[in-house]
Amino acid sequence: MSDAAAAEQTSTKRGSKPLFLGLGLAAILGACGFVITYTGLLRGGASGHGETAQTSHLQPTSYVPIEPILISLSHGARPRHLRFRAELEVEPNEQHNVELLMPRVLDVLNSYLRAVDVEDLERQTSLIGLRAQMLRRVRLVVGENRVRDLLVTEFVLN
């Protein structure tokens, strides 16, 4: 009985040594990964506290506000209204040209928003698709390379 107990005790001692070695290596590697990520060594030296790699390469941008649009929606018994406001993100050297075409932009947005069904406006996910459609129409009017994005700042349906 004593030989069996001694053999069992030595096998558990041998079995725990690799376990502790593995846990120690995992802790060391985890700490190294944290330090590398925190200091930003993988991103080319940008620190975790200051500017990130994305914000260090911002392109010059101008914004052209679109006048607020109020659209009457007649669906059902009670009248409803949509209040829409947005800004166009444009190339700085194209800002004046886009401002000159703003009456056409307002026309195309008014026409599009009046044609959209109220049910489409009520869905929570509809703003993503509407924004893409409006941006496409604005780019057709203004020019593909003049407008980078359409930023919706107000979209209220009541």
Q: Are the C-beta atoms of 156 and 83 separated by less than 8 Å?
A: yes
Q: Between β-strands 147-157 and 79-90, what pairing exists: parallel, antiparallel or unpaired?
A: antiparallel
* In the chain, domain spans: 2-43, 59-157
- Write out pLDDT tens, residues 14-61: 677 888 888 888 888 888 888 777 777 776 544 445 555 555 577 889
pLDDT at 23: 86
DSSP E strands in 38-97: the ranges are 62-74, 79-90
Q: 78-117: buried (b, 16+ CB within 10 Å) or exposed (e) per residue?
A: eeeebebbbebebbeebbeebeebbeebeebbeeebeebe
Q: What is the CATH number of domain 59-157?
A: 3.30.479.30
pLDDT at 36: 79
- Write out pLDDT tens, residues 56-106: 577 889 999 999 999 998 766 778 899 999 999 999 999 999 999 999 999
